[in-house]
Amino acid sequence: MWDLRVIDTDKSLYIAVADAIERDIRAEILTAGEKLPAQRDLAKKVGVNVTTITRAYKEAEKRGLVTSIVGSGTYISSDLGFNSALVNTDKGEGQRIEMGLVLPLYAAEPDIAPIIQRVLHKNNLNDFMGYTPAQGLLRHRETGSAWMKRFGILADAENIIVTAGAQHALSCILSSVFQPGDRIAVDCLTYPGIKTAARICGIQLEAVAMDGEGMTPQSLEAVCSRHDVKGVYTVSTMQNPTNAFMSERRSAAIAEIIAKKDLILIEDDLYRFASSGDSGPLTVRIPEQSIYIAGISKAFFAGLRVSFVAAPKRFCNRISQTVVDTLWMAPTLNAEIACECIASGTAEEIIASKRQELRCRARSMETELSGYEYRYVPDSMFVWVTLPDYWRSVEFERTANVNGVNVISSDKFSVGSIVPPNCVRISLSGPGSMEEFEEGLAILRKILSFEIGSAGGVI
């Protein structure tokens, strides 16, 4: 049990206690999933009233440091509130083989110059140099509607919003549809971008237990019973990072709970373009309660920073207003180029090329990871690997990094009070070539088998 000894009494006492929690987390005195003392017990030890400790725990929860479970207690969050970013802007790029970030397989994309030439041939360039409606030009929204139709989403152009990428879409949705202090249920292992966006918007994420099909109905029901949950964020196919894939039965069960509880669904469907699975998006079942994000960055030309959002009319104006408030509009020229790729069939050609490359890489991955436990679904851009008992995920990430390969440990994806599973996510699409990918795999295989030891010594 944590023994609080030193606080800064020059500050408000509740802030001082919250600061002490953060200090001891950073010093690794407090660890992920650890239970904090009961408020009455800590108040007695510190010599303050219970209200002060209650405020301190709430402040720590706002910082993402702790999570409270009704009837159980307060626990240190598994992501520790400050280590979920996948890209560290303080560090240089270095010379590592990138098998952490899920990049879009740039080598499978053709030269964009002929596509831009077609756009310029059809249009006057100055047509894209002025302000346009925040929701996006009608023809771009019509193309977005057609793009979504391939996934089973039947949304009219009036319900489509063009944003500057999926992360921008997510930030706009959280800041316009929800209020600071609202709670959103998410998979207990989830995309770090939702954690960052939620923290910026002051939204509390509530972890929902998972299995091979994503969040479980029983856990979602339990979370909704314990908390005043306003929404659900999930990925129903090729879930990041676990590759969980919702069956039709699971999708129906989750949709039923969302409908019954009158929740707002945010479905982030970034990887569905690569999937050949039969199960459709959750949004199809509850379109009037769903906001659907169809990012294209992993499919083709990520640098265009274009994404399409489908939302019920009651949310469209709010989200569009936030587009205005953040950057006025998604770059219209970029949207035109992206729409040209879709309309001309270039996008389909790129996707086919990427699938072929991913299948080659998957075969190499299956050979190198033979004998180890992992989860992979066909054509996914990443694999979720369970480590042997003699490794811990954070130490494995550090050792791989020292040996020239970047991977991502499970703590970056964890939410709430769970102890992160002993897993790492390995990207198939990060390396620039098949040769580089196989070189990275060979290094990781040696680390897995402990031919290369821990960067911090044997655990």
What pLDDT does residue 296 have?
A: 92
Banded pLDDT at 44 (limits 50, 70, 90): confident
To the nearest whole number, what is the mean pLDDT of the chain? 88
Which amino acid, 272? R
What pLDDT does residue 104 have?
A: 93
Considering only residues 38 and 231, tell me which one the structure prediction assigns the higher pLDDT.
Answer: 231
What pLDDT does residue 457 have?
A: 47
Banded pLDDT at 210 (limits 50, 70, 90): very high
Predicted confidence (pLDDT) at residue 85 exceeds the cutoff of 70: no
Separation between Cα atoms, residue 48 and residue 391, nearest integer Å: 42
pLDDT digits (tens, 9 = 90+) for 334-376: 999 999 999 999 999 999 999 999 999 999 999 999 999 999 9
Question: Which domains are assigned to the chain?
Answer: 13-76 (1.10.10.10), 97-108+348-448 (3.90.1150.10), 125-345 (3.40.640.10)
Using a 10 angstrom Cβ sphere, with 0-12 exposed, 13-18 middle and 19 or more buried, the burial of residue 200 is exposed
Count Cα atoms within 13 angstroms, Cβ side, for 47. 4
Banded pLDDT at 161 (limits 50, 70, 90): very high
What pLDDT does residue 10 have?
A: 72
Residue range 139-147: mean pLDDT, rounded: 95
User: Which range (35-39, 159-163, 175-179, 444-448) has the least confidence?
Assistant: 35-39
Residue range 24-28: mean pLDDT, rounded: 78
Residue range 379-386: mean pLDDT, rounded: 96
Using a 10 angstrom Cβ sphere, with 0-12 exposed, 13-18 middle and 19 or more buried, the burial of residue 333 is middle
Residue range 95-116: mean pLDDT, rounded: 92
User: Which range (18-32, 127-141, 189-203, 406-420) has the least confidence?
Assistant: 18-32
Residue range 35-40: mean pLDDT, rounded: 86
Predicted confidence (pLDDT) at residue 459 exceeds the cutoff of 50: no
pLDDT digits (tens, 9 = 90+) for 289-331: 999 999 999 999 999 999 999 999 999 999 999 999 998 999 9
Q: What is the pTM of this model?
A: 0.81
Residue range 419-437: mean pLDDT, rounded: 93
What pLDDT does residue 68 have?
A: 72
What pLDDT does residue 43 have?
A: 84
